[in-house]
Amino acid sequence: MDRPLTKALRLPLIEICVEGIDGLLAAQAVGADRIELCASLVEGGITPSLGTIRAAIEQANVPFHVMVRPRGGDFLYSETEYASMLADVSALRELGVPGVVFGCLNADGTMDEARMSELTQAAGPLNVTCHRAFDMTREPAEALESLIRSKVGRVLTSGQRDTAIEGLPLLADLVRQAGDRIVILGCGGLDLHNIAEVRSRTGLSEMHFAALKDVPSAMDYRNPHVGMGGSD
């Protein structure tokens, strides 16, 4: 729930994107208002495991939204991939998670409105966020209207640029276009040094940060002859 101040003075809601249950516990310990729960942030986030989600249900004391993304890469999904997303959303609704995060595009760079609508309907009362698939659309103003028609509650975006600072003009336009019909959740290289500028120049009420930090392995022995992917 947003902090109880007037719209003009209210501090932005802070969402932190994490990988796994340890990340969730760390984020809520430092005061996150909401958490996006993913696996494999190096791929931009994919659906976390059932065990991770159940642990989050048991241990979270702030709302968390679960990423529903069957793989890394683009957001154009096959019929079987989409079926798995639909099943995941339905299962997450039954588990009672607070919200879900997903996004589907057509090959021409438009939002896949039919699939987004069906996924949102499957989510029922859950909070629904469209992730940065939005930033890959060809016409952001129309993409936003499509999400509104699909009854999506918020959209995560950096203003279709690598960082929110670069995407400031579009972010401000999207906030104006959205009004009170959908929440614009700003993201993209946000930190202590630029959050105030981004907020003041866009009017964003919610801001998203990624909790990315390399953690050295605690293994005493590591086989130098075998690589296990990533940075091992």
Report residue 211's pLDDT band, with 50, 70 and 90 as the boundaries.
Answer: low
DSSP SS3 for 95: helix
Calpha distance 42→45 (Å, rounded): 7
Q: Could you read off the pLDDT of 78-112 as tens digits, one per residue? A: 999 999 999 999 999 999 999 999 999 999 999 99
Pairing of strands 99-102, 127-130: parallel
How high is the pLDDT of residue 11?
87
Residue-by-residue DSSP string for 118-187? HHHHHHTTSEEEE-GGGGG-S-HHHHHHHHHHTT--EEEESSSSSSTTTTHHHHHHHHHHHTTSSEEEE-
Residue type, 121: Q
DSSP SS3 for 67: strand
How many Cα atoms within 13 Å fall on the side-chain side of residue 17?
28
Q: Where are the domains of the chain?
A: 13-210
Both structure tokens of 23: 């990340």
Calpha distance 225→135 (Å, rounded): 40
Q: Which fold has domain 13-210?
A: TIM Barrel (3.20.20)
Yes or no: say if 146 and 111 are a contact pair by the CB < 8 Å rule. Answer: yes
Mean pLDDT of 117-132: 98
Both structure tokens of 27: 């984020």
Instruction: Count other Cβ atoms within 10 Å, centred on residue 168.
Output: 19
Q: Could you read off the pLDDT of 11-49 as tens digits, one per residue? A: 899 999 999 999 999 999 999 999 999 999 989 899 999
Mean pLDDT of 103-130: 99
Contacts 24+ apart (CB under 8 A), 226-229: none
Mean pLDDT of 150-159: 98
Tokens 């866009």 found at? 202
Yes or no: say if 156 and 130 are a contact pair by the CB < 8 Å rule. Answer: yes
